[in-house]
Amino acid sequence: MEILAGQIKRQLEIRNEIRHCAIGEEELQRIWPLNEMDRERKIAQFAKDYGLHLTWYSHGMCAIFEKKRPE
């Protein structure tokens, strides 16, 4: 998970003007299989744990992350 979090953070830094990073299903399945229960909740918790925010998720397609928004 740390590798994925690092990849997302690097993409957010490199492409600062875009402000988001999309991770495709192929990469997501390495950690969270498609049939895993509560998959979206687990991906959102991953984002929170690594200082990110899950802004969009589509089962079987991708997840889009942004830097964590101020609370």
- pTM of the shown model: 0.84
Q: How far apart are CA 36 and CA 8, in angstroms?
A: 22
pLDDT value at position 65?
95
Q: How many domains does the chain have?
A: 1
pLDDT, tens digit, for every residue of 36-67?
A: 999 999 999 999 999 999 999 998 899 999 98
Structural domain range at position 51 = 2-67
The one-letter amino acid code at 71 reads E
Structural Rg of the chain based on CA atoms: 11
pLDDT value at position 13?
84
Q: Which residues contact 12 (CB under 8 A, 6 or more apart)?
A: 19, 20, 21, 65, 66, 67
pLDDT, tens digit, for every residue of 9-33?
A: 888 888 767 788 999 999 999 999 9
